[in-house]
Amino acid sequence: MIIKNIKEAVLFMATILCLTACNKDGDETIALEFGDKEKTEETDDRIDDVVPVDLQNKIDDYMPLYRGKNPPNIEGVYHFYPLSIVFCSDGYYSPGDIMDDDLIIKFSNQNNRKNTLDYDSYDQEIDQTAQSGKGAFVSGSGNNFTAYFNTSGTTYGITTKEAIIVSGTKTSQGIKDLHFCIVMVEKKNDYDNELMDVGTYRVSNDDDGLSENATWNLHYSPSHKIKNENAGIHERWLMLSKKSGREMINYTK
């Protein structure tokens, strides 16, 4: 091709630069450190309002955090059992400990425009609500998702604010590789160090790798949900401190 003048030369170079930039940036997926976790240029940063960024960087080592803006539809009910400890930043439990909890979790009312949904869970052993979050955020891409929200309440008379994070991969059989994390964001009036310290986080997963599709059969839900100290085994084992002197919830190896 013969370039006849300066104007054509400028247009030619601009075209080449544009094509090169598009080919470089495009929709390329950048692999992060944790397994098949991914982060694209189009990321949802709302998790920064729920979990401090410095803690996200630590949690990244123990569970995937999917930050895309096109999460899958995850509405449904799932059986989260058996629960295996992945990591406790305070050493309250050891990796590989299997908990006695038998959880049913539910995602509902997913809004694909706002990327929000509702989250509920209960322990089948005691038939009581463990946690509830309305208008939780959800992010991700493909079949991978992360749902997250803040919840607050009172446990053993101590006022707390926690961050809940749930990640996994949606399949026709349920949720694959489901991970669950609780982070202590704030607490007040814990004079005897009953609960885990602020900044402490605990990660668990489904030990058999699949949280199967299930049915929601909760028969009783306390009016204050997680705001009373009998809100379920799941809340207690996640939040107690080694310093509390209370008996640790049973688990098996």
pLDDT digits (tens, 9 = 90+) for 52-61: 899 999 999 9
Is 24 a domain residue?
no
pLDDT digits (tens, 9 = 90+) for 39-52: 344 899 999 999 98
For residues 171-183, one letter each, b for 16 or more C-beta atoms within 10 angstroms of the residue's C-beta and e for the rest, the string is eeebbebbbbbbb
pLDDT above 60 for 20: no
Is 28 a domain residue?
no
Query: Given this model, what pLDDT does residue 217 score?
Result: 86
Query: Given this model, what pLDDT does residue 25 score?
Result: 37
Report d(CA 52, CA 168) in Å as an integer: 21
Is 210 a domain residue?
yes
pLDDT above 50 for 127: yes
What percent of the chain stands above pLDDT 70?
69
Query: Given this model, what pLDDT does residue 244 score?
Result: 63
Query: Given this model, what pLDDT does residue 19 score?
Result: 33
Read off the pLDDT band of 134 (50, 70, 90): confident
Averaged pLDDT of the chain:
77
Residue found under tokens 């629960």? 83
Do 204 and 155 touch, CB atoms closer than 8 A? no
Give the tokens for residue 179: 């991970």
List helix spans (H) across the chain: 6-25, 53-59, 233-239
93 DSSP assignment? S
Read off the pLDDT band of 10 (50, 70, 90): very low
* pLDDT top residue among 153 and 12: 153
CA-derived radius of gyration, the chain: 22
Task: Tally the domains of the chain.
Answer: 1
pLDDT digits (tens, 9 = 90+) for 224-242: 333 333 444 445 555 677 6
Is 4 a domain residue?
no
Is 1 a domain residue?
no
Of 79, 58, 105, 32, which is closest to residue 202 (Cα–Cα)? 58
Is 74 a domain residue?
yes
pTM score of the predicted model: 0.75
Query: Given this model, what pLDDT does residue 243 score?
Result: 64
pLDDT digits (tens, 9 = 90+) for 239-250: 677 666 655 444
Read off the pLDDT band of 203 (50, 70, 90): very high
Q: How many residues does the chain have?
A: 253
For residues 84-97, one letter each, b for 16 or more C-beta atoms within 10 angstroms of the residue's C-beta and e for the rest, the string is bbbbbbeebbeeeb
pLDDT above 50 for 32: no
Give the tokens for residue 55: 């803690």
Is 184 a domain residue?
yes
pLDDT digits (tens, 9 = 90+) for 140-192: 999 999 999 988 877 778 888 889 999 999 999 999 999 999 999 999 999 98
Is 95 a domain residue?
yes
What's the average model confidence in pLDDT over 85-111?
91
Half-sphere exposure for 31 (CA within 13 Å, toward CB) = 4
Give the tokens for residue 237: 């084992």
Task: Determine the structural domain holding residue 221 and report its residue range.
Answer: 33-252
